[in-house]
Amino acid sequence: MLRPNDEAKLAKAEERHAELEKLLTDEKVLSDAGQYGKLAKEFAELGNILEVYRSYQKTLSQLQELHEIVKSKGDAEFKELAQSEILVLEPQLEALTRQLTDHFDPSKNEPDRNIIVEIRAGTGGLEASLFAADLYRMYTKYADLKGWSLELMSYTDTEAGGVKEVVFSLAGRECSKRLKWESGIHRVQRVPTTEASGRIHTSAASVAILFEPEEIDLEINPKDLKIDVYRSSGPGGQSVNTTDSAVRITHLPSGTVVVCQDERSQLKNRTKAMRILRARILDHMQQEAFQKESALRKSQVGSGDRSEKIRTYNFPDRRVTDHRIGFTSHQLESILNGAMDELTNALMAAENDLKEQLGAK
Protein backbone atom coordinates (compact mmCIF):
# COMPACT_ATOMS: atom_id res chain seq x y z
CA MET A 1 0.00 0.00 0.00
CA LEU A 2 1.01 3.60 -0.46
CA ARG A 3 2.78 5.50 2.27
CA PRO A 4 0.80 8.37 3.88
CA ASN A 5 3.33 10.83 2.48
CA ASP A 6 2.69 9.62 -1.07
CA GLU A 7 -1.07 9.74 -0.52
CA ALA A 8 -0.72 13.38 0.54
CA LYS A 9 1.34 14.18 -2.59
CA LEU A 10 -1.31 12.57 -4.79
CA ALA A 11 -4.03 14.61 -3.09
CA LYS A 12 -2.06 17.77 -3.95
CA ALA A 13 -1.66 16.48 -7.51
CA GLU A 14 -5.44 16.17 -7.79
CA GLU A 15 -5.86 19.75 -6.57
CA ARG A 16 -3.27 21.01 -9.04
CA HIS A 17 -4.89 19.05 -11.88
CA ALA A 18 -8.25 20.68 -11.16
CA GLU A 19 -6.57 24.10 -10.97
CA LEU A 20 -4.85 23.55 -14.33
CA GLU A 21 -8.13 22.49 -15.91
CA LYS A 22 -9.54 25.93 -15.08
CA LEU A 23 -6.40 27.80 -16.11
CA LEU A 24 -6.40 26.17 -19.54
CA THR A 25 -9.75 27.81 -20.28
CA ASP A 26 -8.60 31.25 -19.14
CA GLU A 27 -8.42 33.80 -21.97
CA LYS A 28 -5.06 35.19 -20.79
CA VAL A 29 -3.50 31.73 -20.85
CA LEU A 30 -5.07 30.88 -24.20
CA SER A 31 -3.56 34.01 -25.73
CA ASP A 32 -0.05 33.09 -24.55
CA ALA A 33 1.10 30.08 -26.60
CA GLY A 34 4.21 29.52 -24.48
CA GLN A 35 2.40 29.50 -21.15
CA TYR A 36 -0.46 27.44 -22.54
CA GLY A 37 1.97 24.81 -23.84
CA LYS A 38 3.73 24.47 -20.46
CA LEU A 39 0.47 24.24 -18.53
CA ALA A 40 -1.02 21.76 -21.02
CA LYS A 41 2.05 19.56 -20.68
CA GLU A 42 1.84 19.64 -16.87
CA PHE A 43 -1.91 18.91 -17.07
CA ALA A 44 -1.30 15.86 -19.27
CA GLU A 45 1.52 14.52 -17.06
CA LEU A 46 -0.58 14.88 -13.90
CA GLY A 47 -3.52 13.27 -15.70
CA ASN A 48 -1.40 10.21 -16.51
CA ILE A 49 -0.32 9.60 -12.91
CA LEU A 50 -3.80 10.33 -11.54
CA GLU A 51 -5.20 7.73 -13.92
CA VAL A 52 -2.83 5.22 -12.34
CA TYR A 53 -3.91 6.43 -8.88
CA ARG A 54 -7.59 5.86 -9.73
CA SER A 55 -6.74 2.31 -10.85
CA TYR A 56 -4.87 1.82 -7.58
CA GLN A 57 -7.85 3.05 -5.52
CA LYS A 58 -10.29 0.83 -7.42
CA THR A 59 -8.07 -2.24 -7.07
CA LEU A 60 -7.49 -1.55 -3.36
CA SER A 61 -11.24 -1.21 -2.78
CA GLN A 62 -11.93 -4.47 -4.60
CA LEU A 63 -9.32 -6.30 -2.53
CA GLN A 64 -10.75 -4.98 0.72
CA GLU A 65 -14.20 -6.23 -0.26
CA LEU A 66 -12.82 -9.63 -1.25
CA HIS A 67 -10.94 -9.98 2.04
CA GLU A 68 -14.16 -9.22 3.90
CA ILE A 69 -15.90 -11.99 1.96
CA VAL A 70 -13.13 -14.46 2.83
CA LYS A 71 -13.40 -13.55 6.54
CA SER A 72 -17.21 -13.85 6.54
CA LYS A 73 -19.27 -16.93 7.40
CA GLY A 74 -20.79 -17.08 3.93
CA ASP A 75 -20.87 -19.81 1.29
CA ALA A 76 -17.59 -21.79 1.04
CA GLU A 77 -17.64 -21.86 -2.77
CA PHE A 78 -18.20 -18.09 -2.91
CA LYS A 79 -15.29 -17.56 -0.50
CA GLU A 80 -13.08 -19.76 -2.67
CA LEU A 81 -13.90 -17.62 -5.71
CA ALA A 82 -13.07 -14.50 -3.71
CA GLN A 83 -9.72 -16.00 -2.69
CA SER A 84 -8.83 -16.80 -6.31
CA GLU A 85 -9.68 -13.24 -7.30
CA ILE A 86 -7.42 -11.94 -4.53
CA LEU A 87 -4.51 -13.88 -6.02
CA VAL A 88 -5.08 -12.06 -9.31
CA LEU A 89 -5.56 -8.56 -7.91
CA GLU A 90 -2.72 -8.50 -5.34
CA PRO A 91 0.09 -8.51 -7.94
CA GLN A 92 -1.80 -5.78 -9.84
CA LEU A 93 -1.97 -3.66 -6.69
CA GLU A 94 1.75 -4.17 -6.08
CA ALA A 95 2.56 -3.05 -9.63
CA LEU A 96 0.35 0.04 -9.33
CA THR A 97 1.87 0.88 -5.95
CA ARG A 98 5.38 0.59 -7.38
CA GLN A 99 4.43 2.82 -10.30
CA LEU A 100 3.09 5.50 -7.95
CA THR A 101 6.01 5.37 -5.52
CA ASP A 102 8.48 5.53 -8.42
CA HIS A 103 6.71 8.68 -9.58
CA PHE A 104 7.87 10.44 -6.40
CA ASP A 105 11.39 9.00 -6.56
CA PRO A 106 13.63 11.50 -8.42
CA SER A 107 16.06 8.73 -9.40
CA LYS A 108 13.29 6.80 -11.16
CA ASN A 109 10.86 9.49 -12.26
CA GLU A 110 12.72 11.25 -15.02
CA PRO A 111 10.64 14.08 -16.49
CA ASP A 112 9.88 14.15 -20.20
CA ARG A 113 11.91 16.78 -22.02
CA ASN A 114 11.94 18.09 -25.54
CA ILE A 115 15.07 17.13 -27.46
CA ILE A 116 16.97 18.22 -30.54
CA VAL A 117 18.45 15.46 -32.71
CA GLU A 118 21.46 16.15 -34.93
CA ILE A 119 22.56 13.60 -37.54
CA ARG A 120 25.73 14.07 -39.61
CA ALA A 121 27.29 11.90 -42.27
CA GLY A 122 30.70 10.64 -41.18
CA THR A 123 33.39 8.52 -42.78
CA GLY A 124 32.37 6.71 -45.93
CA GLY A 125 31.62 9.43 -48.45
CA LEU A 126 28.43 8.94 -50.45
CA GLU A 127 27.47 5.79 -48.53
CA ALA A 128 27.76 7.67 -45.22
CA SER A 129 25.33 10.34 -46.43
CA LEU A 130 22.86 7.66 -47.57
CA PHE A 131 23.15 5.98 -44.16
CA ALA A 132 22.55 9.33 -42.42
CA ALA A 133 19.36 9.60 -44.49
CA ASP A 134 18.38 6.09 -43.33
CA LEU A 135 18.85 7.11 -39.69
CA TYR A 136 16.77 10.24 -40.20
CA ARG A 137 14.01 8.14 -41.73
CA MET A 138 14.25 5.65 -38.83
CA TYR A 139 13.81 8.33 -36.17
CA THR A 140 11.01 10.10 -38.02
CA LYS A 141 9.09 6.85 -38.44
CA TYR A 142 9.65 6.01 -34.76
CA ALA A 143 8.37 9.46 -33.77
CA ASP A 144 5.29 8.89 -35.92
CA LEU A 145 4.62 5.51 -34.31
CA LYS A 146 4.97 7.00 -30.80
CA GLY A 147 2.82 10.04 -31.57
CA TRP A 148 5.64 12.53 -30.98
CA SER A 149 5.67 15.92 -32.68
CA LEU A 150 8.64 16.54 -34.98
CA GLU A 151 9.90 19.87 -36.29
CA LEU A 152 12.58 20.00 -38.97
CA MET A 153 15.07 22.73 -38.08
CA SER A 154 17.90 22.36 -40.58
CA TYR A 155 18.45 20.04 -43.53
CA THR A 156 21.42 19.79 -45.90
CA ASP A 157 21.12 17.05 -48.49
CA THR A 158 23.44 15.72 -51.19
CA GLU A 159 22.86 15.42 -54.91
CA ALA A 160 22.64 11.62 -54.60
CA GLY A 161 19.71 11.83 -52.17
CA GLY A 162 21.72 11.42 -48.99
CA VAL A 163 21.95 13.70 -45.97
CA LYS A 164 25.02 15.71 -45.08
CA GLU A 165 23.44 17.09 -41.90
CA VAL A 166 19.93 17.23 -40.49
CA VAL A 167 18.67 18.80 -37.26
CA PHE A 168 15.17 18.34 -35.90
CA SER A 169 13.31 18.62 -32.61
CA LEU A 170 11.08 16.04 -30.94
CA ALA A 171 8.47 16.50 -28.24
CA GLY A 172 6.21 13.91 -26.68
CA ARG A 173 5.78 11.37 -23.95
CA GLU A 174 9.02 9.47 -23.21
CA CYS A 175 10.86 10.80 -26.26
CA SER A 176 13.82 11.96 -24.15
CA LYS A 177 13.83 8.78 -22.04
CA ARG A 178 13.83 6.55 -25.10
CA LEU A 179 16.30 8.44 -27.29
CA LYS A 180 18.78 10.01 -24.87
CA TRP A 181 21.23 7.11 -25.34
CA GLU A 182 21.32 7.49 -29.15
CA SER A 183 24.27 9.89 -29.04
CA GLY A 184 27.40 8.50 -30.61
CA ILE A 185 28.74 6.91 -33.79
CA HIS A 186 26.38 4.61 -35.71
CA ARG A 187 28.10 2.26 -38.19
CA VAL A 188 26.62 0.48 -41.18
CA GLN A 189 28.07 -2.57 -42.92
CA ARG A 190 26.58 -3.27 -46.34
CA VAL A 191 27.28 -3.46 -50.06
CA PRO A 192 26.84 0.02 -51.55
CA THR A 193 24.71 0.30 -54.69
CA THR A 194 27.75 1.80 -56.44
CA GLU A 195 29.98 -1.18 -55.58
CA ALA A 196 30.21 -3.40 -58.67
CA SER A 197 32.33 -6.13 -57.02
CA GLY A 198 29.86 -6.71 -54.19
CA ARG A 199 32.30 -5.91 -51.39
CA ILE A 200 30.93 -4.94 -47.98
CA HIS A 201 31.82 -1.39 -46.94
CA THR A 202 31.73 0.14 -43.47
CA SER A 203 30.66 3.75 -43.14
CA ALA A 204 29.35 5.84 -40.30
CA ALA A 205 27.15 8.70 -39.19
CA SER A 206 27.09 10.57 -35.90
CA VAL A 207 24.00 11.24 -33.82
CA ALA A 208 23.77 13.84 -31.05
CA ILE A 209 20.81 14.12 -28.68
CA LEU A 210 20.53 17.57 -27.11
CA PHE A 211 18.05 18.49 -24.40
CA GLU A 212 16.18 21.72 -25.08
CA PRO A 213 16.77 24.01 -22.11
CA GLU A 214 14.02 25.93 -20.39
CA GLU A 215 14.49 29.66 -20.03
CA ILE A 216 15.50 29.18 -16.40
CA ASP A 217 18.10 26.54 -17.33
CA LEU A 218 20.30 28.82 -19.36
CA GLU A 219 20.69 32.56 -19.79
CA ILE A 220 22.59 33.91 -22.80
CA ASN A 221 23.86 37.48 -22.81
CA PRO A 222 22.89 39.12 -26.14
CA LYS A 223 26.31 40.83 -26.11
CA ASP A 224 27.91 37.40 -26.44
CA LEU A 225 26.21 36.79 -29.80
CA LYS A 226 27.34 37.72 -33.30
CA ILE A 227 24.44 37.47 -35.75
CA ASP A 228 24.96 37.49 -39.51
CA VAL A 229 22.24 37.38 -42.16
CA TYR A 230 22.79 36.51 -45.80
CA ARG A 231 21.06 35.11 -48.86
CA SER A 232 20.08 31.47 -48.57
CA SER A 233 21.24 29.00 -51.20
CA GLY A 234 18.48 26.57 -50.23
CA PRO A 235 18.87 22.89 -49.33
CA GLY A 236 20.99 20.97 -51.80
CA GLY A 237 21.54 24.10 -53.87
CA GLN A 238 17.85 24.38 -54.69
CA SER A 239 15.18 26.99 -53.92
CA VAL A 240 17.57 29.92 -54.08
CA ASN A 241 16.16 32.72 -51.98
CA THR A 242 16.08 36.30 -53.20
CA THR A 243 16.12 37.81 -49.70
CA ASP A 244 18.63 37.80 -46.84
CA SER A 245 16.75 35.15 -44.84
CA ALA A 246 19.62 32.86 -43.83
CA VAL A 247 20.92 33.37 -40.29
CA ARG A 248 24.27 32.49 -38.73
CA ILE A 249 24.63 32.98 -34.97
CA THR A 250 28.01 32.73 -33.25
CA HIS A 251 28.29 32.43 -29.48
CA LEU A 252 31.56 34.28 -28.93
CA PRO A 253 32.60 32.83 -25.52
CA SER A 254 32.32 29.21 -26.68
CA GLY A 255 32.82 29.63 -30.42
CA THR A 256 29.60 27.71 -31.10
CA VAL A 257 28.17 28.48 -34.53
CA VAL A 258 24.66 27.67 -35.77
CA VAL A 259 23.34 28.28 -39.28
CA CYS A 260 19.67 28.09 -40.30
CA GLN A 261 18.49 28.84 -43.82
CA ASP A 262 15.65 26.43 -44.60
CA GLU A 263 12.87 28.90 -43.84
CA ARG A 264 12.09 31.81 -46.15
CA SER A 265 11.53 33.98 -43.09
CA GLN A 266 14.60 35.46 -41.41
CA LEU A 267 12.69 35.56 -38.09
CA LYS A 268 11.85 31.84 -38.27
CA ASN A 269 15.46 30.95 -39.12
CA ARG A 270 16.70 33.11 -36.26
CA THR A 271 14.28 31.50 -33.80
CA LYS A 272 15.33 27.99 -34.83
CA ALA A 273 19.02 28.91 -34.72
CA MET A 274 18.66 30.24 -31.17
CA ARG A 275 16.94 27.03 -30.05
CA ILE A 276 19.75 24.93 -31.48
CA LEU A 277 22.39 27.25 -30.05
CA ARG A 278 20.90 27.11 -26.55
CA ALA A 279 20.70 23.31 -26.70
CA ARG A 280 24.31 22.99 -27.87
CA ILE A 281 25.64 25.32 -25.17
CA LEU A 282 23.71 23.49 -22.46
CA ASP A 283 24.95 20.16 -23.81
CA HIS A 284 28.55 21.41 -23.74
CA MET A 285 28.13 22.44 -20.11
CA GLN A 286 26.61 19.07 -19.25
CA GLN A 287 29.39 17.17 -21.05
CA GLU A 288 31.98 18.98 -18.95
CA ALA A 289 30.08 18.12 -15.77
CA PHE A 290 29.70 14.47 -16.81
CA GLN A 291 33.46 14.15 -17.29
CA LYS A 292 33.99 15.18 -13.66
CA GLU A 293 31.31 12.99 -12.08
CA SER A 294 29.51 10.39 -14.09
CA ALA A 295 28.99 6.89 -12.82
CA LEU A 296 26.15 6.45 -15.29
CA ARG A 297 27.99 7.64 -18.38
CA LYS A 298 31.03 5.48 -17.59
CA SER A 299 28.79 2.46 -17.14
CA GLN A 300 27.47 -0.41 -19.20
CA VAL A 301 25.04 1.98 -20.89
CA GLY A 302 27.82 4.08 -22.34
CA SER A 303 30.15 6.98 -21.71
CA GLY A 304 28.08 9.47 -23.65
CA ASP A 305 31.18 10.42 -25.65
CA ARG A 306 30.12 11.68 -29.09
CA SER A 307 33.04 9.75 -30.62
CA GLU A 308 32.02 6.43 -29.07
CA LYS A 309 30.98 3.73 -31.55
CA ILE A 310 27.68 2.69 -30.04
CA ARG A 311 25.88 0.61 -32.65
CA THR A 312 26.39 -1.40 -35.83
CA TYR A 313 23.77 -2.06 -38.50
CA ASN A 314 24.93 -5.15 -40.41
CA PHE A 315 22.90 -5.74 -43.57
CA PRO A 316 24.31 -9.15 -44.65
CA ASP A 317 23.31 -10.67 -41.28
CA ARG A 318 20.18 -8.48 -40.87
CA ARG A 319 21.63 -7.62 -37.48
CA VAL A 320 21.65 -4.54 -35.23
CA THR A 321 24.08 -4.63 -32.31
CA ASP A 322 24.35 -2.10 -29.51
CA HIS A 323 27.92 -2.51 -28.27
CA ARG A 324 27.41 -0.78 -24.91
CA ILE A 325 25.00 -3.33 -23.48
CA GLY A 326 25.77 -6.32 -25.72
CA PHE A 327 22.29 -6.28 -27.20
CA THR A 328 21.67 -7.81 -30.64
CA SER A 329 18.51 -7.90 -32.73
CA HIS A 330 18.00 -9.59 -36.09
CA GLN A 331 15.12 -7.29 -36.97
CA LEU A 332 17.23 -4.79 -38.92
CA GLU A 333 14.55 -3.91 -41.50
CA SER A 334 11.89 -3.39 -38.83
CA ILE A 335 14.18 -1.18 -36.74
CA LEU A 336 15.14 0.97 -39.72
CA ASN A 337 11.42 1.30 -40.44
CA GLY A 338 10.87 2.83 -36.99
CA ALA A 339 10.13 -0.21 -34.80
CA MET A 340 12.77 0.83 -32.27
CA ASP A 341 11.05 -0.19 -29.02
CA GLU A 342 13.09 -3.40 -28.83
CA LEU A 343 16.27 -1.31 -28.79
CA THR A 344 15.09 1.50 -26.55
CA ASN A 345 13.48 -0.92 -24.07
CA ALA A 346 16.80 -2.76 -23.73
CA LEU A 347 18.69 0.50 -23.11
CA MET A 348 16.12 1.70 -20.56
CA ALA A 349 16.27 -1.65 -18.76
CA ALA A 350 20.09 -1.48 -18.65
CA GLU A 351 19.92 2.03 -17.22
CA ASN A 352 17.41 0.96 -14.54
CA ASP A 353 19.57 -2.04 -13.60
CA LEU A 354 22.55 0.25 -13.21
CA LYS A 355 20.61 2.69 -11.03
CA GLU A 356 19.59 -0.18 -8.75
CA GLN A 357 23.20 -1.36 -8.53
CA LEU A 358 24.41 2.13 -7.67
CA GLY A 359 21.59 2.55 -5.14
CA ALA A 360 22.56 -0.69 -3.42
CA LYS A 361 26.14 0.48 -2.88
Residue 262: phi and psi, rounded to 5, are: -70, -30
Question: Does residue 171 lie within any of the structural domains?
Answer: yes
179 and 308 share one domain: yes
Provide the H-helix boundaries in 161-263. 175-179
Q: The domain that contains 227 carries what CATH number?
A: 3.30.160.20
- Decide which of 43, 73, 103 is a domain's last residue: 103
Q: Are residues 160 and 307 in the same domain?
A: yes
Domain that holds residue 343: 115-212+294-360
What pLDDT sits at residue 77?
A: 87
Is residue 41, in this structure, part of any structural domain at all? yes
Type and span of the H or E element at 52:
helix 33-71
**300 plus 238 within the same structural domain:** no
The helix/strand/coil state of 82 is: helix
16 and 55 in a common domain = yes
Q: Which of 47, 69, 103 is the last residue of a domain?
A: 103
Backbone torsions φ then ψ of 205, nearest 5 degrees = -140, 150
DSSP one-letter code for 262: S
> Phi-psi region for residue 119, left (φ > 0), alpha (ψ -120 to 50) or beta?
beta
Residues sharing a CB contact under 8 Å with residue 26, sequence separation 6 or more, in sequence order: none
Supply the pLDDT for residue 185. 95
Residues 86 and 207 placed together within one structural domain of the fold? no
Last residue within a domain, chosen from 103, 133, 157: 103
Query: Do 200 and 160 lie in a common domain?
Result: yes
Which CATH number does the domain housing residue 143 bear? 3.30.70.1660
Q: Which amino acid does the sequence have at 73? A: K
Nearby residues of 162 by Cβ (< 8 Å), 6 or more positions away: 121, 126, 128, 129, 130, 131, 132, 133
pLDDT attached to residue 238 = 45
Evaluate whether residue 314 is within a structural domain: yes
- Per-residue pLDDT 10s for the chain (361 aa) are 888 888 999 999 999 999 999 999 999 989 988 788 888 988 998 999 999 999 999 999 999 999 999 888 878 888 899 999 999 999 999 999 988 987 877 656 677 889 999 999 998 888 999 999 999 999 999 999 999 999 998 899 888 889 999 999 999 988 998 999 999 999 999 998 767 677 889 999 999 999 887 655 577 888 999 998 887 765 444 444 556 788 999 999 888 899 888 777 888 888 888 889 988 888 877 676 555 544 444 444 554 455 679 999 999 999 999 999 999 999 999 999 999 999 999 998 888 777 766 654 4
How many distinct structural domains can be found in the chain? 3
- This prediction has a pTM of 0.65
Q: Is residue 195 located within the same domain as residue 298?
A: yes
DSSP per-residue codes, 278-316 = HHHHHHHHHHHHHHHS-TTTTSSS----TT-EEEEEETT
Among residues 68, 66, 101, which one has the least CA distance to residue 87?
66
Do 131 and 191 lie in a common domain? yes
Tell me, what's the pLDDT at 293? 47
pLDDT at position 220 is 82
State residue 306's pLDDT score. Answer: 55
Contacts of 190-198 with CB under 8 Å at 24 or more apart are 190/127, 190/313, 190/314, 190/315, 190/316, 191/315, 191/316, 192/126, 192/127, 192/130, 194/126, 194/127
Asked whether residue 305 falls in the same domain as residue 166, the answer is yes
Residues 6+ apart with CB under 8 A from 217: 282
CA distance 258 to 137: 23
C-alpha dihedral over 291, 309, 332, 157, to 10 degrees? 90
Answer whether residue 282 is part of any domain: no
Q: Are residues 205 and 252 in the same domain?
A: no
